[in-house]
Chains A and B, each alone.
Chain A
Amino acid sequence: MSVRQLAVLGDHQGDVDAIVGKYPNARSALIPLLFYVQSVQGHVTEEGMRDVAQVLGLTPAEVLSVASFYTMLKKQATGEYLISVCRNITCTHLGGRKVLRAAEERLGVPAGQSTPDGRFTLEAAECLATCDGAPSLQINYEDFYKVSPEEMVEIIDKLERGDEVRSVAGEAIQTHKDVSREVAMTGVIEGHGNQEQGARTVSGEVPPADMAPGFRPPVKGHGAKEDPDA
């Protein structure tokens, strides 16, 4: 069986090598590569997880095991702007739920969903650790403090028009894909691939685990458990 074509990471071999090359143990590149998949596709897709498994010599199940743990690795299609409104106790006391409702009305979708045009995803978040700025929210993980329902609507209007929006720290808001790419590439030195990968054999090639003899192609399927927040 020859090696399957990389469906998502195939066009990004340079970056992938650079990320893997950062670590003495290839498996450590698992989370950065999942963010990379997210930066290409907007969320962590099934194909993407298979790619990561193949690149790192893991099984897709192992990749799923890690990917399913982290809320910042999105398993559902996610818009350009991910708006996370805090629903925890401090923010709720100071009007966070109203902010959330305003966003829901403005976007026309309930928390946990994306707008049909795929530009915005709204989610209700647990404590963002910025209670002093309550009611707090994040857009693509940049902080916004003491946001009123009206300001919420205004921010969405601006993002929709393509106007610049800045967080409390003065950061211009980038797209969710760009942010994912930034996370994935943190600390990567361009063009610094890993030469030593998997070089344990003298002759003959090393197939990734799921390509080894004994691996048989799928027979039939069923879906993984759905995200309850979806």
Chain B
Amino acid sequence: MSDQAPARDDLVTVTINGTTVQTEKGRLLIDVAEEIGNFIPRFCYHPGMKSVAVCRMCLVNVEGMPKLQPACATPVADGMIANTVSDEAVEAQKGVLELLLINHPLDCPICDRAGECPLQDQTYKHGPGSSRYVEEKRHYEKALDISELVVLDRERCVLCWRCVRFSDEIAGDRFIQLVDRGDGTQILNFTDDPFDSYFSGNTIQICPVGALTSKPYRFVSRPWDLETAPSVCDYCSVGCPLTNETRAGNLVRRQALPNEQVNDFWICDKGRFGYHYVSSEDRLTTPLVRSGEDFEQTGWAQALAVVAGKLKGAANVGVIAGGHLTTEDSYAIGKLARKVIGTKDVDSRIQDAGAPYELAMSLTGVAGSNATIDDLKAASNVVWVGPDPKESLPVLYLHLHTGVRDRNTDLFIVSSSSTSLDIHAAQVTRVAPSAQPAAIEALGDKLEGPTVVCWSPGYAGRDESPTLRAAVALAQKVGGKLLVCPPHAGSQGALDMGLHPALEAGHAVVAEPGRGTRQILQAAADGELDVLLIFGADVVADFPDADLARKALGGKAFVVCVELFSTETALLSDVVFPSAASPEREGTFTNLERRLQKLEPLTKPPGTAREVWKTCAAIASALDEDWGWHGFGDVWTDIKGNVRTHADVDIDKLTQEAPLPHPFDEQGFEGEHPSPLRMSGPGGQYPKGHRSGAPFATGQNWPLSWELRAFEARQRPGYVFPAPEVTEAPAMTSPEAVSEGSFELLSGRLIYDEGAMVSRSAALRGLQPDPFIEINDSDAKRLGIADGDPVIVSGAGNEIAVKARVNGVAEGCVFVPYDQKDCRANRLMSGVDPCVEIRKADA
């Protein structure tokens, strides 16, 4: 510390094993010791949850205390002198391990955890080596299926409570509990009720033994046979960092990487188990060129020549991109469209077509958030406007849940359909979409203290401009911040890179906006487009008007589709290029707080599939424009030179170092370890509190991400962002007065649905609920519909037959999950703000 540094009264000085350090008051001894290289063994302590001190593995000597203290429940105090390796402490640790092993089956040879098991590791390092116990061990039925994803072996459990605490404290769905407390204590679910949490996989990762194991990964690999690369989840816009792990080139596992600024320690089960799509049989492997009814497999040069030929003579070109593309892909698409082809008709909003992100600019300066997840956690008020975040943005739901539970956040919900957070909210306003703006405005007088207003474009096909405008006005009025939550992993990056008819890369407003997704498809359907380029978007399945999408593809426009899979859209196209999936490539995703995070490549794309940016560069070069992009670095040089918001990005700093080597690389367990953490695989254990921001030198953590925001904040003062005009045309069909049996259609995603990736992920296939819709109690009564009755929903000339759930949807509205099996909601939609009819199905 320098001489000028003012004395900080939040610091204390402690001495641990002879080393004296200064650290913040209130931190736990176990964390401080670990940070300075003294790893205290532990089972129950996990930095993401509260201490319970039940396992007694972390006992250490603290001078002045008559007995050993559990380091996980001992806050550091000024002048504290602790010894974590005293004879007494070491003896206690041995004793605890011997007791834990009394009932442990020691079946490591058939245990998935072996090789990355904290119990195994700590027994080697701290245990007694042999047991004096010769009696019969406790027995339970082994390998109990407690859900479609999790297997429980109660004999291996050391009763650390981590899984139970996670379910309670973090996920808030207490499907597993300790039962038969006493000598028969065990973890169990309730009889036939499965452990059906959206977050169950986290308990597998934090279980310090092999008691909870993963069904999809069961007996698939030994940890030392895995190759691992850090990546970012490719599903929703929370952007949870995670690992991709392969065995012999096949992706076999994903685990959460910790970042306290993004996901804490957690990911949802969709992110964790939704990786089988990568090896799906539907993956495209070569370019395809239509010949009559069929496709011909071709080489790239041939297909590119066909596309270039069409583009050269084209006067009208539309470009549509999906939500799962990386920042680089989006930049390349924008560059190809605007600079090479010369069209302004570019959009990346599919399911969220017309979502008025640009309205956020009057507050944030960008079509996105100015709040971070950290802001959300620190806020005393959070306003949630949108459908259930547990379904669409699962880890954000965790933050909102723990906010109410542990951080005294007051949660105000304005939503037209029921949400999982309703039971935690200080106030729920359940009104039809048209009444949302007034409901949001009315909150203005209730919010004191730091406030974050969250808006997620909820209901597909609706014009949400009045709602977002009200949300922005509310944030402005109370001096709060705005968290804009676009749907997918690549959505924000696409907006940042200008895949929006009114915004160029860097959120520069276009003087005369081009056409949005709906108008582009309409133009194609009307025969006004010559070429339609579609990147990673299944418009037939995802655009909120399936018939229009089909007509657009069936029109005279020449359709080029760049895709992972042979989707419906791809099958209706004229030329198809295969693309690489996220574990197969280098890239970045930008999450909903506009944080840029890096994907590292691990596997090879199938056949000749490649990154979308390469495809764009190849099309450009076929049109005689050479971008000079030979690698990922060149793309970034281009981006930095041309996108003002990204000029300062240091892409090398974003590099996530590969996770720690697996234990096999280590020289046994004695002697020198740069960090004792090396003993356990991801999720085993981390110190708390110093895990975010810049890369770590110690190897105790994976360097995570780089803050774009700092740069932008510097740019902002004095710079006035022009407010854009509304870019989508007003409603093309306005709903008639609502008649008997006519409902406003609300449609949002469920976590497990027919989405292109999740539906091709084997482990999650069985988890979709049976198709359903939700209607309001009084509407149901009026129509004579009881809970569980079959109903027919009709709209846009189509009908679907489903079961009705009678639920807390706003009156006059019906919630139809977006992409259910055999009943896609987008078939019921035409125009903006669609309505549908509901009637009881004839028995």
Q: Which residues of A contact B (CB under 8 A)?
A: 1-2, 46, 49, 57-65, 68-69, 200-209, 212-216, 218-225, 228
Q: Which residues of B contact A (CB under 8 A)?
A: 140-141, 144-145, 147-148, 172-182, 184, 186, 188-194, 196, 198, 388, 390-391, 418-420, 422-423, 425-431, 751, 766-767, 769, 777, 787, 805-808
Taking a contact as CB atoms under 8 Å apart, the answer to whether A214 and B390 are in contact is yes
Taking a contact as CB atoms under 8 Å apart, the answer to whether B179 and A65 are in contact is yes
Closest A-chain residue to B419, C-beta based? Answer: A213
Contacts of B767 in A (CB 8 A): 216
| 24 sample A-B contacts, Cβ–Cβ < 8 Å, listed by A number | A2-B807, A58-B174, A60-B190, A60-B191, A61-B174, A61-B179, A61-B189, A62-B177, A64-B190, A65-B177, A69-B181, A69-B182, A202-B427, A204-B422, A207-B418, A209-B423, A214-B391, A219-B148, A220-B145, A220-B192, A221-B191, A221-B192, A222-B191, A224-B191
Selected from A213, A223, A225, the residue in CB contact (under 8 A) with B186 is: A225
Taking a contact as CB atoms under 8 Å apart, the answer to whether A216 and B769 are in contact is yes
Q: A61-B175, A228-B184 are in contact. Are A204 and B808 (CB under 8 A)?
A: yes
Q: A64-B188, A65-B179, A228-B184 are in contact. Are A213 and B388 (CB under 8 A)?
A: yes
Closest B-chain residue to A71, C-beta based? Answer: B182
Contacts of B430 in A (CB 8 A): 203-204
Taking a contact as CB atoms under 8 Å apart, the answer to whether A61 and B177 are in contact is yes
Cα distance, A46 to B191, chains bound together (Å): 8
Contacts of A202 in B (CB 8 A): 427-429
Contacts of A68 in B (CB 8 A): 179-181
Cα distance, A42 to B567, chains bound together (Å): 58
Cα distance, A201 to B147, chains bound together (Å): 33
Contacts of B186 in A (CB 8 A): 225
Contacts of A203 in B (CB 8 A): 428-431
Taking a contact as CB atoms under 8 Å apart, the answer to whether B180 and A222 are in contact is no
Taking a contact as CB atoms under 8 Å apart, the answer to whether B194 and A204 are in contact is no
Q: Which 8 residue pairs across A and B have the least CB separation, nearest first? A: A221-B192, A204-B430, A65-B177, A60-B190, A2-B787, A61-B190, A61-B177, A68-B179
- Smallest beta-carbon distance A129→chain B, Å: 18
Selected from B173, B191, B194, B388, the residue in CB contact (under 8 A) with A59 is: B173
Contacts of B144 in A (CB 8 A): 222
Taking a contact as CB atoms under 8 Å apart, the answer to whether B426 and A1 are in contact is no
Selected from A1, A65, A201, the residue in CB contact (under 8 A) with B422 is: A201
- Smallest beta-carbon distance A44→chain B, Å: 12
Cα distance, A2 to B418, chains bound together (Å): 12
- Smallest beta-carbon distance B273→chain A, Å: 15
- Smallest beta-carbon distance A207→chain B, Å: 7
Contacts of A58 in B (CB 8 A): 174
7 extra A-B contacts, CB within 8 A, seeds A203-B429, A212-B418: A49-B190, A60-B190, A60-B191, A61-B175, A204-B418, A206-B422, A213-B420
Taking a contact as CB atoms under 8 Å apart, the answer to whether B808 and A214 are in contact is no
- Smallest beta-carbon distance B659→chain A, Å: 30
Taking a contact as CB atoms under 8 Å apart, the answer to whether A64 and B179 are in contact is yes
Taking a contact as CB atoms under 8 Å apart, the answer to whether A201 and B420 are in contact is no
Cα distance, A58 to B140, chains bound together (Å): 27
Taking a contact as CB atoms under 8 Å apart, the answer to whether B419 and A62 are in contact is no
Selected from A1, A65, A223, A228, the residue in CB contact (under 8 A) with B191 is: A223
- Smallest beta-carbon distance A156→chain B, Å: 30
Contacts of B182 in A (CB 8 A): 69
Q: A218-B192, A218-B194, A225-B140 are in contact. Are A213 and B428 (CB under 8 A)?
A: no
Q: A204-B418, A207-B808, A224-B179 are in contact. Are A59 and B174 (CB under 8 A)?
A: yes
- Smallest beta-carbon distance B110→chain A, Å: 20
Contacts of A206 in B (CB 8 A): 422-423
- Smallest beta-carbon distance A219→chain B, Å: 5
Closest A-chain residue to B175, C-beta based? Answer: A61
Cα distance, A202 to B427, chains bound together (Å): 6
Cα distance, A200 to B4, chains bound together (Å): 51
Cα distance, A200 to B427, chains bound together (Å): 7
Taking a contact as CB atoms under 8 Å apart, the answer to whether B423 and A59 are in contact is no
Contacts of B147 in A (CB 8 A): 219
Contacts of B391 in A (CB 8 A): 213-214
Selected from A62, A201, A209, A225, the residue in CB contact (under 8 A) with B184 is: A225
Contacts of A204 in B (CB 8 A): 418, 422, 428-430, 808
Selected from A49, A65, A209, A224, the residue in CB contact (under 8 A) with B181 is: A65
Contacts of A200 in B (CB 8 A): 425-427
Count chain B CB atoms within 10 A of each CB in A2, A49, A63 and give the residue with the most: A2
Contacts of B428 in A (CB 8 A): 201-204
Closest A-chain residue to B141, C-beta based? Answer: A222
Q: A59-B175, A200-B425, A212-B422 are in contact. Are A225 and B180 (CB under 8 A)?
A: yes
Cα distance, A8 to B806, chains bound together (Å): 23
Taking a contact as CB atoms under 8 Å apart, the answer to whether A224 and B423 are in contact is no
Cα distance, A28 to B766, chains bound together (Å): 38
Contacts of B425 in A (CB 8 A): 200-201
Contacts of A221 in B (CB 8 A): 191-192
Contacts of A64 in B (CB 8 A): 177, 179, 188, 190-191
Cα distance, A69 to B145, chains bound together (Å): 24
Count chain A CB atoms within 10 A of each CB in B147, B191, B194, B426 and give the residue with the most: B191
Taking a contact as CB atoms under 8 Å apart, the answer to whether A57 and B423 are in contact is yes
Cα distance, A23 to B184, chains bound together (Å): 31
Closest B-chain residue to A3, C-beta based? Answer: B787
Taking a contact as CB atoms under 8 Å apart, the answer to whether B190 and A59 are in contact is yes
Taking a contact as CB atoms under 8 Å apart, the answer to whether A207 and B423 are in contact is yes
Closest A-chain residue to B146, C-beta based? Answer: A222
Contacts of B189 in A (CB 8 A): 61
Closest B-chain residue to A211, C-beta based? Answer: B807
Contacts of B172 in A (CB 8 A): 209
Cα distance, A66 to B431, chains bound together (Å): 39
Contacts of B808 in A (CB 8 A): 204-205, 207
Contacts of B180 in A (CB 8 A): 68-69, 225
Contacts of A215 in B (CB 8 A): 173, 196
Closest B-chain residue to A75, C-beta based? Answer: B180
- Smallest beta-carbon distance B809→chain A, Å: 10
- Smallest beta-carbon distance B190→chain A, Å: 4
Closest A-chain residue to B148, C-beta based? Answer: A219
Contacts of B192 in A (CB 8 A): 218, 220-222
Count chain A CB atoms within 10 A of each CB in B147, B177, B178, B198 and give the residue with the most: B177
Cα distance, A109 to B144, chains bound together (Å): 33
Contacts of A207 in B (CB 8 A): 418, 422-423, 807-808
Closest A-chain residue to B421, C-beta based? Answer: A212
Selected from B140, B173, B388, the residue in CB contact (under 8 A) with A209 is: B173
Cα distance, A181 to B180, chains bound together (Å): 24
Contacts of A212 in B (CB 8 A): 418, 420, 422-423
Closest B-chain residue to A53, C-beta based? Answer: B190
Closest A-chain residue to B394, C-beta based? Answer: A214
Closest A-chain residue to B196, C-beta based? Answer: A216
Cα distance, A224 to B140, chains bound together (Å): 11
Selected from B193, B418, B429, the residue in CB contact (under 8 A) with A61 is: B193
- Smallest beta-carbon distance A62→chain B, Å: 5
Cα distance, A219 to B178, chains bound together (Å): 21
Contacts of B429 in A (CB 8 A): 202-204
Taking a contact as CB atoms under 8 Å apart, the answer to whether A214 and B140 are in contact is no
- Smallest beta-carbon distance B614→chain A, Å: 39
